[in-house]
Amino acid sequence: MKENKYEFSYEVFNDISELNEKDAWLLSEARSVTKDAYAPYSNFQVGAVAILANGEVVAGTNQENASYPVGICAERVLLGSVATLHPNVPVETIAISYTSDGMKSDHPISPCGMCRQSLLEYETRLHKPIRLILSGQEGKVFVIKSAGLLLPFAFTNKELG
């Protein structure tokens, strides 16, 4: 038997003030757009804002539904908008933030499994890593070089032949 190890590095900043100007602006936008989320059931509002390779900025928020499984996460709303409004334009960086009526928004959250798969698919499709900036409304900020790092042993188009 052989044991393998999977690990990756990411940057940790104490707060938004330690980011460069462009990243701080993008995170501020993600924090702000959470107010546009439609989350009457979970009261967990997520905002995602991307800067694209062509310089355009696109935002997305989570959208819930009374038929609870039918809702869609902010990251997938964002990717759908990018693919529709700017076909074949790579995403450079996505900042993701949240607010919640039930907990303090003082630490980074990570995309759910379905969103991780969608982010990886977009990276694979356009042959470009998507850099992630993750944070709450305050506190620490994580910067991850590629969304694909969050999904080891991913199911990809290679498995489909």
Catalytic (active-site) positions: 75
Residue 22 token pair: 């462009």
DSSP per-residue codes, 42-104: T-EEEEEEEEETTS-EEEEE-B--SSGGG-B-HHHHHHHHHHHHSTTPPEEEEEEEEEESSS-
Query: What letter represents residue 21's amino acid?
Result: E
CA–CA separation, 93 and 40 (whole Å): 28
Phi (first) and psi of residue 47, to 5 degrees: -125, 140
- Sequence-ordered list of residues with C-beta below 8 angstroms from that of 63, at least 6 positions apart, any chain: 37, 38, 71, 72, 77
d(CA 92, CA 128) in angstroms, rounded, equals 8
Q: By C-alpha distance, which of 53, 129, 144 is closest to 95? A: 144
